[in-house]
Structure 1
Amino acid sequence: MRAVRAAVAWLDEHQGTGREQQTIRILKLTEEAGEAARAWIGATGQNPRHAVTHSVDDVAAELADTAITALVAIESLGCDANQVMADCAAKILARIGRSPAGVD
C-alpha cells in the first residue's frame, strides 16, 4: 500500500483534494477498466482489423493498473484501502463458505 499512499499524496499535491478530485479518481477507474478490456480484445484477436495486438501479460498489467487505481480512489475518499479490502475479502470468503484465517 506504500505505492498507493504515495500516489494519493502526489495527486493531492499536484491536483488538489476535494469532491471534484475524488470524482475524477473514481472516473479514472472506468478508463483503466476500458484499457484492460481493450487489451483482452487485443489478446484474443477479437478485432478482425487488427488481429492479435496484446499478450496475456499486457492484460494482467492493465488489470493491475485498474486495481491500483481503485485503491487510490478508496484512499482518496479518506478510507483505509487495506481495511476496505480486508472487509471485502472477508465478505467474499463468508459467501463462499471459507474461513478468513490464513487466507490473503
Structure 2
Amino acid sequence: MTDTWQTITRLAVRLEDHSTLPHEQRILLQLLKIQEEAGEVAEAVIGAMGQNPRKGHSHTWEDVEAEVCDVIVTGMVALARMNPDAATVFARHMERIAARDLGEATQCTPQ
C-alpha cells in the first residue's frame, strides 16, 4: 500500500510544475476542481439509481464510491497545494473532529 500523503504530494507537485498561472489562480482552480468532482458524484448517484431517462442505470454504486474517492483526493491535493505541511494540518483537523465527536458521544451516552 502506498503512503497516501506521499502520493498526494507527488500529484500536487506535478500539477504545480505543469501550470504557468500565478499561485493564487492555481489554488483557486484546484478548489473549483473539488466542485467539479462533486458534480461527478451526483451524476454517478443519478446513474446508479437509474433516474436519467435518457441513460437509465448508467453507473453502479462502485462508480459512486470511486467518484467520492476522487473528491477526497482532489481536496487533499488542494490542501497540499495550499500548504506544504498539509499532512500535519489535516491530522490536527482530524484530532479536533475526533475530540468534538467523542465529547458529544460522551454527553449523549446514558449513565
- TM tier, shorter chain? 0.7 to 0.9
Pairwise CA distance, 1:50: 2.2
Name which of 6, 13, 17 aligns with 2:17.
13
Secondary structure (helix, strand or coil) at the match of 1:84 reads helix
Partner of 2:32: 27
Take 1:89 and 1:96, find their aligned partners in 2: how far apart are those partners? 10
Q: By percentage of residues, which structure has more helix? A: 2
Partner of 1:76: 81
May I ask how many residue pairs the two structures share in their alignment?
A: 98
* CA distances 1:58-90 after superposition (whole Å, capped 9, x unpaired): 111111111111011101112422222212221
Taking structure 2 as the reference length, the TM-score comes to 0.79
Secondary structure (helix, strand or coil) at the match of 1:46 reads coil
Partner of 1:102: none
How well do the aligned residues superpose, as a CA RMSD in angstroms? 1.6
Q: Between the two proteins, what is the percent identity of the paired residues?
A: 36
Q: Where does the alignment leave 5 or more consecutive residues of structure 2 unmatched?
A: 104-111
